[in-house]
Structure 1
C-alpha cells in the first residue's frame, strides 16, 4: 500500500509530504485548492507522461517520491526481483521517484535505479489504480464491459487458453498468407529453374571437374610440342653420342677424381658432380617414361575441348566464374527443391490453419460458456448494488453474444454488452443511451465493490466518482467506499460530507498565499477538525451550530468515530 507521498515544486505545491493509512481516506477541501494534485503526482509515478508546465514557477525541476509497502504484494515483489530492483534495506518497501525538469525532460527511478516509463507503467499496475470520472466513461466501451465480466468470472485459465490458441492460429495464418502471396513469384521462379536445373543436370559437371578439364585441355592441345621438346631434352641429356649432359659430367668427374690425391679441396666438387650425375640420369629416365606415356589423341582432345567449351559457355550464361559452376548448379537444385517443398508446405499449412482455428474455436466456446454462466450473477450483483444507491427500479442485463463467424481475436468471439433500464416498463438498453453521468458513476462504483474481493491491487484512488449524486445516495456510496476500504487502501477525493464521514481517515487540502505566490498544503484532520470540515461541506462558508451537530451525527452514524 501507499505509505508516503512527497511532492516538491509540482504545480502549486512547494514542498509537501503526506503519510497515508490503511482503510478509506477522504480528501476534501475548497474548490480550486488542489485536491487532485496528489492524484496527478501519483499518475506520474505510474508512468504518465510529464509536462514542463507542471513544474512550479521559478523552480528548475519538480520531484515526486512515493513510498509503498510491498511485503504482501506478490506481483510487485516478483517484478522487483525480475528486474533486480529489490530494496537493499528490508525488501518489504520500495519507492518510486520521478523528476521533471522545466524543459520537460523527465527521469524515473525505482529504489534509486533508473527505469523506463514503460517499465514504470507495468510496475505501477501492481501498486495502485486510479479511478476518475473518465474511468467511468470508459465503462461505455464494450471491451471494458467484457473485461469487467471476465474479472468477475475469474476464468483466467480459459482466457489464457484462448490467447495461446489465438497466437498459434495467427502464426500459422500469417505464414500461410505469406506463402499464398508469394505463390505467383514462386511459380515464375520455378518455371525458370526447371530449364536451368535440367540443363545443368544434363551437363552433370562433377566437383572440381572444370579444373581437371582445364589441365587436360592444356596438355592435349600442346601434346606434339610437349613430346618433341621432351624427346629433345632426353636426347641432349642422355643419348647424344657426340656429347650428352650425362657423359660430360661423368668425364669431368673422372678427371677430378684423379686429381683429388693432389688436392683434397676438390672433394666437395666431386661430391656435387656425383650427385648431379645421379640427378641427370634419373631425370633422363623420367623423361623417357614421360615420352612413352604421352599420348597424342585427337579424339580425346575433341571430347575435352567440347566439354571445356560448354563449361565456359554455361559460366558466361549465368554470369559466374567457370570454377563456380558446380557449386552454382547445387544451389539452383537446392532452391528448386525448396520451392517444391513450399508448394507441399502450402497444402500442409492450409490443413494446419484449419486445425489451429478449430482449437481456437473450442477454447473460445468454453470461454463464452463461462462468460454466459457468470453474466447473470454479475448483472444481479450490479443491480442489487445500484438499487441501494437510489436506482430502485434499475434492471441490469449483461448480454453475451457468441459469433463463430467473427475473425478470431485474443479476447474470444463474444460481444459483451451491459444493458440497463432505470425506469419501470423501459426495456434495457446500452449505457450511453440510458444512464446519466451520476448513474454511470454508481454503476462503476458497484463494479469496483464487486471486484474488491478479487482485486490484487492494494491501493485504489477515486477522483470525485461521487459527482452527480447527493442525499441518501451519497451516504450509500460512502458506505460502499468504506466497504472497499476494508479490503484495500482506498482514497477518495470528494465534496460530499456523507462520503467523507464514512472515511477512516480524512485529509484536508488548503491553499495559502502571501500575495506573491501560492502553495497547496494537505493536512491530516483530527476528530474535531473533521467535524468542522464536515460542517463546512454541509453548510458552506457559514458554519452553524446546526451544521456542526449534523456533522457529529454523520460521523457517529458512519462508525468512523
Structure 2
C-alpha cells in the first residue's frame, strides 16, 4: 500500500507532500490541469524512464519519494538483495538532475532503475492505456492463472522437475556430441599418465637426488680437502706441525712468564679456548671423513635417475620441480574423463525418467490451468455488462508445447484473447482492445483475481474512457469494492466514479506572472461536493448540480 508521496521540483510541481490511506482514492481536475503529473511522479520511483524535462524550470534537480507498506513478496525481494526492511516500510526515491541523469535508492541504498522496476512489481500494479502495463506482459497470463487456480505449488514442482531434467539432458547431449573428441583426448591422456606412473617420481625425490648427486660427484675432492684441513689443525702422526700442537706449545711458553699482567692473563685464556676449539674441530672433521663415501656405482645410478626425470619434464613441457604435482593433476583429469559406456547408458536412462516425470507433472498442471482459465474467463466476462463491454468476449488461449519447446514454466503458452464485437475476429489483448477497453478489462481481471494477488496497491488511469452514466457508476462501485480489500488509485473524469472514493484529490493549475504551478490537495467533504458538482455541470456550479452531487455522495455512504 502506498503510504506517502513526496514530490519536489518535478514538472510544474514545486513541493507536495501527500498522505494516502486504504481504500479507493480518486484524482480529478479540469482538462489540462495536469492530473497525470502525480502518476508520472510516482512512476519515476517505480523505475520509469527519465528525461531532463521532468525537472522544474530553474531547479537543479527533481526528487520524488514514495513510501510503501511492505508485504511478503517485497520482503522476499529485499532479503534476496540484502536490503533491510525498516519498520515494515519501503522507501523508493529517485533524483533526476537538470541534465537528465538519475539516481535511485531503496531504503537509502543506491539502486538501479531495473531494481526499482523489479521491486515495484511486488508493491503496485499500474493499469493504464500504456503498452507497458502488466496485463500485456508475456508472463502475466500464466502468473494470473496460476494464482487464480491456486497452482503455484504445483508450478514450483514442475519447475524443479524441468531444471533437473534439462540439466542432465544438456550434460548428456554435450557428452554425446563430443564423444569422439573426448575419446581421443582420453587416449592421449591415458598414455601420458601411464608414462608418469612408470616414472613414479616421489614428492621430494628430485630434491633428495640432487643433494645426493652433489655429494657423490664431489666426494674425492671433499675427502682430500677434509684430510688437508685435519692435518693442518691436528698435524700428521709423528709430527708436531698441527695447529693444536702449536697452540699447546704457545700456552706452555706463556705459563713460563712470571707476570700477573691482565693482558697476559687474557692472552692465556684465549689460547686455551682456541686449543679446545681446535681439538673439537678435529674430532668433527674425523667424523665427517669417516662417512664420506666414494661410490661410483651409486653416482651412476643417481645420474641415470635424474636423466629420466629431466627427460620426462621436457616431454611434458614443465619444470622438473612440478613433475610430481603434474602427475597427480593428470591422474585426476583422467579420472574425470573416464566415463564408460555403462555410465552413459545409465545417464540416458536417468534422463528418460526425469523427462517422463516432468511431462507427467507438466501435463497435470496444464489440465489444472485449463480448468482455472475457464473459470477466470467466465468470471471476467461476468463483469463486462456493467462496464459497457457487454458484446465483448474475453477468453484464455492455452497452446500446448512439445517437450523440446517446454520451459521451467511447463508446456503451456498462455495469452489473453478478446473479441470486442460480434463478427470481428478475436485476437491478443494488446492488439485488439482499445485503450479504454483495455483499462476496463484490466479492472475486471483485477476484481476477479484480487483475492489471490499479493499486490495490494492498484492504479487505474482513465478507466472511464468511453463510458458514462450508469456504466460509470457500476465501474466506480467495482473499484470501491476492490479498494476495500487494499488500495486503489484512479484518475477519472466521471463524477459517478469519483463519488465512490474514500479519498479524493484534486489537481489544479495556478498561473503566476513568471511561472505556472500545479497543486494537488486532498478535498474535505464540502470541497468534494463542489468538485463533483463541477464534474457534473461544467464551469458553473449550480444549485441543482450541488444537490445532485450531495445525493450521489449520500447514496455511496448508504451502500
Question: Could you say which TM-score interval applies, normalised by the shorter chain?
Answer: 0.7 to 0.9
Structure 2 match to 1:206: 202
User: C-alpha separation between the residues in 2 aligned to 1:138 and 1:498?
Assistant: 26
Q: Deviations over 1:327-381 (max 9, x none)?
A: 3333333333333269987766555554444443344233223212212211110
Q: 1:159 to 1:263 in 2, by over 3 A?
A: farther
User: C-alpha separation between the residues in 2 aligned to 1:21 and 1:274?
Assistant: 102
Matched, 1:192 2:180: no
User: C-alpha separation between the residues in 1 aligned to 2:78 and 2:304?
Assistant: 75
Where does 1:532-547 land on structure 2 (aligned, <5 Å)? 532-541=530-539
In structure 2, list runs of 5 or more residues that go unmatched: 260-264
Deviates more, 1:429-438 or 1:364-373: 429-438
Deviates more, 1:349-358 or 1:151-160: 349-358
Instruction: Quote the offset at 1:387 in angstroms.
Output: 2.9
Partner-residue secondary structure (3-state), 2:519 = strand
Structure 2 match to 1:160: 156
Structure 1 match to 2:455: 457
User: C-alpha separation between the residues in 2 aligned to 1:281 and 1:22?
Assistant: 101
Whether the 8 Å contact between 1:406 and 1:413 is mirrored in structure 2 is: no
Kindly report the root-mean-square deviation, in angstroms, between the aligned alpha carbons of the 2 structures: 4.2
User: C-alpha separation between the residues in 1 aligned to 2:497 and 2:245?
Assistant: 130
Q: 1:167 to 1:115 in 2, by over 3 A?
A: farther
User: C-alpha separation between the residues in 2 aligned to 1:116 and 1:526?
Assistant: 38
User: C-alpha separation between the residues in 2 aligned to 1:69 and 1:139?
Assistant: 23
Instruction: Quote the offset at 1:518 in angstroms.
Output: 1.2
Whether the 8 Å contact between 1:494 and 1:500 is mirrored in structure 2 is: yes
Q: Deviations over 1:9-41 (max 9, x none)?
A: 211122333343432222222211101111111
Task: Identify the match of residue 373 of structure 1 among 368, 371, 374.
Answer: 371
Where does 1:436-451 land on structure 2 (aligned, <5 Å)? 436-451=434-449
Structure 1 length-normalised TM: 0.80
Partner-residue secondary structure (3-state), 2:407 = coil
Where does 1:73-472 land on structure 2 (aligned, <5 Å)? 73=71, 83-86=83-86, 91=87, 96-109=92-105, 113-117=108-112, 118-134=114-130, 139=135, 143-173=139-169, 175=171, 186-217=182-213, 243=239, 260=255, 269=271, 273=275, 276=278, 280=282, 283=285, 287=289, 289=290, 294-297=294-297, 301-340=299-338, 353-421=351-419, 430-431=428-429, 435-472=433-470
Whether the 8 Å contact between 1:236 and 1:244 is mirrored in structure 2 is: no
Instruction: Quote the offset at 1:133 in angstroms.
Output: 1.3
Q: 1:396 to 1:109 in 2, by over 3 A?
A: closer
User: C-alpha separation between the residues in 1 aligned to 2:229 and 2:147?
Assistant: 101
Whether the 8 Å contact between 2:104 and 2:110 is mirrored in structure 1 is: yes
User: C-alpha separation between the residues in 1 aligned to 2:250 and 2:438?
Assistant: 130
Instruction: Quote the offset at 1:58 in angstroms.
Output: 1.0
User: C-alpha separation between the residues in 2 aligned to 1:134 and 1:56?
Assistant: 24
Instruction: Quote the offset at 1:309 in angstroms.
Output: 2.6
Structure 2 match to 1:512: 510
Q: 1:136 to 1:554 in 2, by over 3 A?
A: farther
User: C-alpha separation between the residues in 1 aligned to 2:337 and 2:414?
Assistant: 45
User: C-alpha separation between the residues in 1 aligned to 2:132 and 2:299?
Assistant: 93
In structure 1, list runs of 5 or more residues that go unmatched: none
Deviates more, 1:385-394 or 1:168-177: 168-177
Whether the 8 Å contact between 2:131 and 2:430 is mirrored in structure 1 is: no
Where does 1:545-560 land on structure 2 (aligned, <5 Å)? 551=549, 554-559=552-557
